[in-house]
Amino acid sequence: MRADRIWEIARKDMASVQRYRYVRLGLILMPLIFAVFIPLVLIYPVVAGEEAPKDNELPPFARPGMPSKEAMVAGLIDMATLMFMVIPAAIPSTIASYTLVGEKVNRQLEPLLATPTTDLELLMGKCMGAFIPTMLTTVASFVVFILVVDFLTLPLFGHMILPNLLSAVVLLVYAPLISLLSISWCVFISSKVTDIRAAVQLGALGVLPLMAFYVLFVGGILSLESLTLVAFALVLISASAGLFALGKVTFQREKILTRWT
Amino acid sequence: MIRLERLTKEFDGLTAVDGLTFEVEEGEIFGLLGPNGAGKTTTVRMLCCLIKPTAGTAFVGGLDVRKDAIEIREMCGLLPEAPGLYGELSAYRNLEFYAKLYGVPRSKREENIKKLLKMLDLWDRKDDPVGTFSKGMQQKIAIARSMVHEPRVLFLDEPTAAISPEAAKVVRDFILELKHERCTIFLCTHNLDEAERLCDRVAILNSRLIAVGSPSELEKSLGLGKTEVHLERVSEEIVRAVEKLDGVRDVEVSGNKLLVGVRDPDEVNPLIVETVVGHGGRVRYVTRTPHALEETYLKLVREGESG
């Protein structure tokens, strides 16, 4: 595998997609929503509220072992932190849809396939072209999120509550795996559809497993213990590996030229 | 340079290309002709190692398409039917991207891109997004892309389809220029006039190989060629005398022009001129009818279809 070829494909894809309005919009709006809007709407009202919720009124996701208001706010921060998994799941569905389905529709894949690159180099380049902007956006928004949350909650806790273990796990383990999962899913979808919008919509289905995890946490069925975090990481690793393998089988020259409808 | 040995491709039981066997010499412009769905693009895709043959094989530059895909792709350039350029990127960047994928070293890369863009008269537009270019200009960029790594073999699939006559002429002139650089060119086209003008030899294909040879050889083999004799004045006596010549199939008169169906123009044309002059005719000029390959092609394809 030749890194320079992979990087060149990724670089070209990154340069190409940033010219699409919907991709740019996604790269700007998502961080704004998750890093600024959610803390302001979800966390700030509780921090600023005069009354603390009663212990028996606390929702299942509230952090145990804390006074009720702090427990409620810490639980909400955990919720907002988990919501960050949506960014690495959603952005690739836009980028990969443009770089795969868009190139298929515009018949840009054939000259690319005629180059002396291997199928795996092409696939890796395409994946990296979606992975890098996704992770840059996720990390940048997370930094803003941490600053906003710490700024809002410093008077309540008296110390910076973020970064913590959960945020580190989400950013360093879950986000890359979810991004890879989403990209692999998009590669698979690209072989089935000929419309970019359909690809984006189907790609968004990649968010569903995360929503399931999220609902289980909010509903109190799952707690954010180390075991749960490790188990979810293992699920993500298996799913990413499985889908990447499927993407690899799907992304073969002959299939792209003759089977991708 | 290219050798096909019973090259076959099937898709879901349907035979797209059936046992092709022929050779293309180094530095030759070779045309692949055939109706829609005849298997031309499939053949090119197999030769460029984009798809694998179901049976048989082919050798490009001595390398086997079944085993040496990367090496073959390194030595080949492909212009597919659709230009497939990145409209949002500049002409220069489009070419640079492909030059890098073909592993062209930096110094050579810049030199090649500049040379090609200048040859195709697009150097002044090198920084403009190709999405703003006309179809003809885009086709030129796509040709430059297929040449950016100086391939030994160039596959051109319908290079002048859907572009203006002016742009088509630039492309044809460019193809002829490449021939002087000893580049082997494999040309798929529906444009028989273009094939006749450019190709040293052609193969006529309709899933199976129907015929292969130079346009004049094919024409001769079917005896479909026509010679046009432009005279000052046509007389009945001249027409009758020409009709009686051996090797003359038929004679038509069109104004002051004789259209003489001949089996072997090399042999019969001097006799025609001699006869015309001997019967008091004054010859202005003699030429082959244009579209002779078209007639040959249509006859061969019809024969091929009827089995």
**Is B148 exposed, middle or buried (CB count within 10 Å of its CB: 0-12, 13-18, 19+)?**
buried
Chain B: nearest CA to A115, how far in angstroms? 6
Q: How far is CA B151 from CA B43, B95, B140, in A?
A: 19, 14, 16
What span, in angstroms and rounded, lies between the C-alpha atoms of B57 and B74?
19
Tell me, what's the pLDDT at B306?
A: 66
Note whether A118 contacts B: Cβ–Cβ < 8 A: yes
Is residue B32 pLDDT above 90, yes or no? yes
Whether B76 sits inside 8 A of A9 (CB atoms) is no
Buried b (16+ CB within 10 A) or exposed e, B152-178: bbbbbbbbbbebeeebbebbbebbeeb
> How high is the ipTM of this complex?
0.83
User: Under a CB-based contact definition with an 8 Å cutoff, are residues A163 and A149 in contact?
Assistant: no
Backbone angles phi, psi at B286, to 5 degrees: -125, 135
Residue B295 has pLDDT above 80, yes or no: no
- Split into its structural domains, chain A has a count of 1
The verdict on a CB contact (< 8 Å) between A111 and B145 is: yes
Element (H, E) at A126: helix A119-157
pLDDT at B125 over 90: yes
A107 to chain B, closest Cα gap in Å: 5
Q: Please tell me if residue A56 touches chain B, with a CB cutoff of 8 Å.
A: no
Q: Does the pLDDT value for residue A252 go beyond 90?
A: no
Give the per-residue pLDDT at A160.
Answer: 93
A259, A17, A13, A23: which is closest to A126 by C-alpha? A13
What confidence tens digit (pLDDT) does each residue in B126-165 have? Answer: 999 999 999 889 999 999 999 999 999 999 998 888 788 8
| B146 close to A (CB below 8 A) | yes
What pLDDT shows up at residue A212?
A: 84
Count how many pairs of residues, chain A against chain B, have C-beta atoms within 8 Å.
74
Q: Do A109 and B84 touch (CB under 8 A)?
A: yes
**Which one of B51, B87, B93 has the shortest CB-CB distance to A254?**
B51
Q: For B66-98, how does the pLDDT look when each residue is reduced to its tens digit (9 = 90+)? A: 999 999 999 999 999 889 999 989 999 999 999
Distance CA B18, CA B53 (A): 10
Q: What's the mean pLDDT in A54-75?
A: 83
Task: Give the pLDDT score at A68.
Answer: 85
Question: CA distances (Å), A123 to each of A109, A191, B80, in order?
Answer: 12, 13, 21
Please determine, for residue A261, whether its predicted confidence score (pLDDT) is greater than 70: no
Give A114 or A96, the one with higher predicted confidence. Answer: A114
B68/A contact by beta carbon, under 8 A: no
Contact B131, B88 (CB under 8 A): yes
Task: Report yes or no: A111 at the B interface, CB cutoff 8 Å.
Answer: yes
B80/A111 CB distance under 8 A? yes
Pairing assessment for the beta strands B283-288 and B184-189 based on DSSP bridges? unpaired
pLDDT > 80? residue A102: yes
Question: Residue B31 class from Cβ within 10 Å (0-12 exposed, 13-18 middle, 19+ buried)?
Answer: buried
Between CA B305 and CA B301 the distance in angstroms is 6
pLDDT band at B290 (very low <50, low <70, confident <90, very high): low
| Least confident span in B113-117, B123-127, B152-156, B174-178 | B174-178
Quote the pLDDT of residue A97: 82
Q: Give pLDDT tens digits for B271-288.
A: 999 999 999 999 999 987
Instruction: List the one residue out of A78, A80, A83, A89 whose CA is nearest residue A176.
Output: A89
Asked if B102 and B74 count as a contact pair (C-beta separation under 8 A), the reply is yes
Quick check: A110 and B82 CB within 8 A? Answer: yes
Helix (H, G, I), strand (E, B) or coil at B56: strand
**Average pLDDT of A175-188?**
91
Of residues B190 and B50, which shows the higher confidence score?
Answer: B50
Lowest mean pLDDT among A5-9, A208-212, B242-246: A208-212
Which residue in B76, B77, B97 is closest to A12 by CB distance? B97
For residue B73, the distance in angstroms to the closest alpha carbon of chain A comes to: 5
Sort out which chain A residues have CB atoms less than 8 A from B81's CB and list them. 107
What's the CA gap between A76 and A66, in Å, rounded? Answer: 13
| Domains defined for chain B, CATH in brackets | 2-218 (3.40.50.300), 226-288 (3.30.70.100)
pLDDT value at B220 more than 80: no
pLDDT of residue B112: 94
A199: containing domain: 3-258
